[in-house]
Amino acid sequence: MQTFLGYKRPDGRVGIRNHVLILPASVCASDTARIVAGQVEGAVTFNNQNGCSQVAPDQQLTMDVMAGYAANPNVYGTVVISLGCENCQMDLVVEAIRQRTCKPMETFIIQQEGGTLKTIEKAVRAARAMQQEAGLIQREAFPLSELIVGTECGGSDPTSGLAANPLIGELSDRIVDAGGTAILSETTEFIGAEHILARRAATPQVRERILDIVHRYEKALRLVGEEVREGNPSPGNKAGGITTLEEKSLGCIHKGGHRPVMAVYDYAKQIDTRGLVIMDTPGNDPSSVAGMVAGGCQLVVFSTGRGTPTGNPIVPVIKVTGNRQTYAAMLDNMDFDASPVIYEPGCMDRLAGEFLDLAVATANGRKTKAEALGFTEMAIARVCNYV
Amino acid sequence: MSNAIIISPADDVAVAIEPIAAGEAVDYGPAQAEAFCAREDIPIYHKVAVRDLAAGQKICKYGEHIGEALYDIARGSHVHVHNVGSVREDLDNK
């Protein structure tokens, strides 16, 4: 049985990184969090653009991402920093995190501590102490069934649907067959193929949920005058050989592989089902990845045609392209070359094995290109303007 | 050396992985049973029919339907927006 080396968490989950997370509860705490993270070796943070002045459904998305990040098994413990007057109040954030995990947590409220400098001093000491304890956790061998792998595509070109997405689909199948979980994301990319995806639902309820998230997304976009089915595939898609919306979507949903869809999750909700699952995320890469990371995935595999650099603060993002020119030109950013799928008929099985080996090595601690470059860009989905 | 790729054995179309000129043999590797030639130029990453398709027939790629043939399409023809229609789900009657 294939295994990976991970960190066991007190809540029972298994991580593949051992980060201390400095979590800003709102945009007003984000620079303080950045300075704190900069003072503690190995601490991670992100620029939280949200956390205040949001309509209720959007605030919920932000809360779910914050709670999910703190609970993500790649995180040892979390130092939460809030300003004090934001809508995402510290007690709400703490409650949301505690509903998901019992891991170490410290909190600091800037307006109560007496400004940023006093907050920074206390938070740095707390984060440093947490980092010292985190160093004691040893990696142990776990079966692949403990892995939740997120799938994503961005900067696509015709090779994405031909090579990189089918290769990711093979990886999804292997993870699922080992008892683990693969997440298919990007609801906007399902549009046109939702009836095909719905046929793969394990139950009638899952089938309804697949159709519901697609239609809900279309309705939300219609509120601002967007009709996804019009003008799609785009003239650029058509010039590249894509004929219909169904065809475009099929190329994207290939990332999920061939197994039945066991469950559908709303954005950033904690994933607690094994097998292939769907999460309702935007096509926008950093916010889609953020939703899956909040859902608890430890690893993301990301296909690209043109080549994209984006990473994530707490989860390694493996970049794979089926475009051999892109692989050569963007070698600084690309982790895996899927172009043999196109140019060497019959190589898929071998290549999928090599790709799984890379995923396991990455789980074991090998850094992705985005990690080695320190790339941590992310975004949180929202449906409405700020209030 | 192949100049096309077929994704699923059930597919009605192969995808050109380099430009294929009219009259040139289409070669998508071991999955191909019979030799045939492109009836017209196939641009890179565009589709070529690997069997004769009747008007109204669903067209298979990725092992799934990507649309419907608007006219009879002969093997070796370019398969694209000029001869394929999208079959969209009727949202209002979901």
Q: What does the pLDDT average to over A161-171?
A: 96
Nearest CB neighbour to A238, from listed B65, B79, B81: B81
Instruction: Using pLDDT thresholds of 50, 70 and 90, give the confidence band for residue B89.
Output: low
Q: Tell me if residue A3 falls in helix, strand or coil.
A: strand
ipTM of this predicted structure: 0.94
Nearest CB neighbour to B89, from listed A194, A251, A343: A194
Q: From chain A, pick out residues whose CB is under 8 angstroms from the CB of B5.
A: 162, 342, 345
Contacts of A171 (CB under 8 A, 6+ apart): A149, A182, A257, A301, A352, A355, A356, A359
Phi, psi of A317 (to 5 degrees): -115, 115
The whole-angstrom distance between A10's CA and the closest CA on chain B is 43
Q: What is the pLDDT of residue A192?
A: 85
Q: What is the pLDDT of residue A47?
A: 96
**Residues 163-192 in A contacting B (C-alpha not used; CB under 8 Å):** 166, 192
CB-based contact (8 Å) between A199 and chain B? no
- pLDDT tens digit sequence for A285-306: 999 999 999 999 999 999 999 9
- pLDDT tens digit sequence for A172-199: 999 999 999 999 999 999 888 898 899 9
Contacts of B53 (CB under 8 A, 6+ apart): B12, B59, B69, B72, B73, B79
Instruction: Using pLDDT thresholds of 50, 70 and 90, give the confidence band for residue A49.
Output: very high
CATH number of A19-134: 3.40.50
The whole-angstrom distance between A243's CA and the closest CA on chain B is 5
Size of interface A-B (CB pairs under 8 A): 77
CB contact under 8 A, A215 and B17: no
The whole-angstrom distance between B70's CA and the closest CA on chain A is 13
Residue of B nearest to A195 (CA): B89
**Domain ranges within chain A, ordered by starting residue:** 19-134, 144-372
Q: What is the pLDDT of residue A11?
A: 97
Query: Would you list the DSSP string of A217-264?
Result: HHHHHHTTT--TTTT-S-HHHHHTT--SHHHHHHHHHGGGTTSPEEEE
- pLDDT tens digit sequence for B25-77: 999 988 888 999 999 999 999 999 999 999 999 999 999 999 999 999 999 99
Q: Where are the alpha helices (DSSP H) in chain A?
A: 30-39, 56-71, 90-100, 110-113, 116-134, 158-159, 165-177, 187-190, 194-199, 204-222, 235-239, 245-253, 285-295, 324-329, 340-343, 348-364, 369-372
The whole-angstrom distance between B39's CA and the closest CA on chain A is 17
CB-based contact (8 Å) between A269 and chain B? no
- d(CA B59, CA B85) in angstroms, rounded, equals 10
User: In this model, does residue A366 exceed pLDDT 80?
Assistant: yes
CB contact under 8 A, B80 and A243: yes
Contacts of B16 (CB under 8 A, 6+ apart): A241, B3, B4, B42, B43, B44, B45, B46, B47, B48
CATH number of B4-93: 2.30.130.110
Residue A283: half-sphere exposure toward Cβ, Cα within 13 Å: 15
